[in-house]
């Protein structure tokens, strides 16, 4: 089933990590810079994430005794310090998710480097350490960003889709674990409706939308693989949707044979498997540092 299967610790049958990207109102502020301040509806929709959904999600995690991963733009961390504190207090991981969810394909790498560093400073200041993992806004990771992650000793990225299981991205400058996402377990297609970003979906019902993620889990469980939904508090943290996913997590926990853990733990384990891990060569050296002017 897998060309490069991974054995999970303690005899667990499969591994899983639930990731939430807390973009909050950075989406509309970056997407509509000229008048975002006036757009109270998308701002309020974004604010639902850290102020309503994250406490709900943390409560579930505490009850089920889970340690999971959140990705946060630095700007969002600065705007919502209580959210950062609550997440850290419960022992969860916070990964790097850009400064304010700017798409790296829409500015030069000089700008990207500056924004990346600004977010890194925020992480160090607010979490007391450098983040170990990174996910690019809209998954737009570039070769220059890969180089930057390696340069800053990141353990893993989670933006590329070349495999079902974690793999090793090998560049001339060093390597990085990739913990791959997938559009079939991302909650934007079933749930997002945001005219301000020209992203208007027909919005699935709660059980219908979450069922797709659960079927992805079932296949991964059967094959001894890895399941990683990419969720957003303002979408899947909504009451009815979270109730569906929460029930699924309860089932997994009760089952006992799934290693449901943070991304950092997954990536460390993958790295520890060494030469058995799939290698994906990436010639980041030859890639231009700056995207051509659009």
For residues 53 and 223, what is the distance between their CA atoms, to the nearest angstrom?
32
In whole angstroms, the minimum distance from the beta carbon of 235 to a copy of itself comes to 9
Footprint (CB under 8 A) of a copy of itself, residues 213-232: 215-216, 218-220, 222-223, 225
Count the site residues for a copy of itself by CB under 8 A.
77
Q: Applying CB under 8 A, which of residues 10, 11, 34, 128 lies at the interface with a copy of itself?
A: 34
By CB under 8 A, residue 11 contacts a copy of itself: no
For residues 111 and 119, what is the distance between their CA atoms, to the nearest angstrom?
12
Residue with smaller CB distance to a copy of itself, 48 or 127: 48
Footprint (CB under 8 A) of a copy of itself, residues 62-101: none
Note the Cα 18 to chain centre separation in Å. 9
Binding region for a copy of itself (CB under 8 A) out of 69-77, 252-260, 268-276, 279-287: 279-287
By CB under 8 A, residue 37 contacts a copy of itself: yes
In whole angstroms, the minimum distance from the beta carbon of 141 to a copy of itself comes to 5
By CB under 8 A, residue 233 contacts a copy of itself: no
* Bridge pairing between strands 193-194 and 199-200: antiparallel
Of 217, 163, 219, 161, give the one whose Cα is nearest residue 18. Answer: 217
By CB under 8 A, residue 200 contacts a copy of itself: yes
Footprint (CB under 8 A) of a copy of itself, residues 91-150: 105, 136, 138-144, 146
By CB under 8 A, residue 159 contacts a copy of itself: yes
Residue with smaller CB distance to a copy of itself, 178 or 264: 178
DSSP 8-state secondary structure symbol assigned to residue 173: T
Output the furthest CA–CA distance in the chain (Å, rounded). Answer: 54
End-to-end CA distance of the chain: 41
User: What would the DSSP string read from start to end of 191-254?
Assistant: H-EEGGGTEE-----HHHHHHHHHHHHHHHHHHT-EE--EE-HHHHTSHHHHHHHHHHHHHHHH
In whole angstroms, the minimum distance from the beta carbon of 16 to a copy of itself comes to 14
């Amino acid at each position: 089933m897998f060309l490069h299967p991974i054995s999970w610790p303690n005899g667990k049958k499969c591994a899983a990590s639930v990731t939430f990207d807390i973009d909050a109102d950075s989406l509309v502020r970056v997407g509509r810079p000229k008048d975002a301040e006036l757009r109270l509806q998308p701002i309020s929709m974004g604010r639902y994430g850290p102020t309503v959904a994250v406490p709900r999600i943390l409560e579930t995690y505490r009850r089920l005794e889970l340690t999971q991963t959140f990705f946060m733009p630095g700007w969002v961390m600065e705007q919502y310090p209580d959210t950062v504190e609550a997440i850290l207090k419960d022992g969860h991981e916070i990964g790097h998710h850009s400064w304010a969810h700017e798409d790296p394909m829409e500015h030069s790498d000089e700008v990207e480097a500056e924004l990346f560093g600004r977010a890194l400073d925020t992480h160090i200041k607010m979490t007391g350490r450098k983040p170990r993992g990174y996910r690019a806004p809209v998954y737009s990771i570039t070769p220059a960003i890969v180089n930057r992650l390696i340069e800053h000793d990141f353990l893993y990225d989670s933006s590329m889709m070349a495999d079902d299981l974690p793999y090793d991205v090998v560049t001339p400058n060093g390597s990085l674990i990739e913990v791959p996402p997938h559009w079939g377990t991302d909650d934007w297609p079933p749930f997002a409706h945001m005219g301000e970003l020209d992203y208007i979906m027909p919005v699935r019902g709660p059980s219908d939308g979450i069922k797709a993620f659960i079927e992805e889990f079932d296949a991964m469980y059967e094959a001894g693989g890895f399941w990683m939904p990419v969720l957003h508090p303002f979408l899947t943290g909504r009451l009815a949707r979270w109730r569906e996913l929460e029930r699924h997590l309860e089932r997994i926990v009760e089952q006992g044979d799934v290693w449901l853990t943070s991304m950092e733990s997954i990536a460390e384990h993958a790295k520890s498997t060494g030469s058995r891990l799939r290698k994906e060569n990436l010639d980041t050296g030859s890639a231009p540092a700056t995207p051509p002017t659009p």
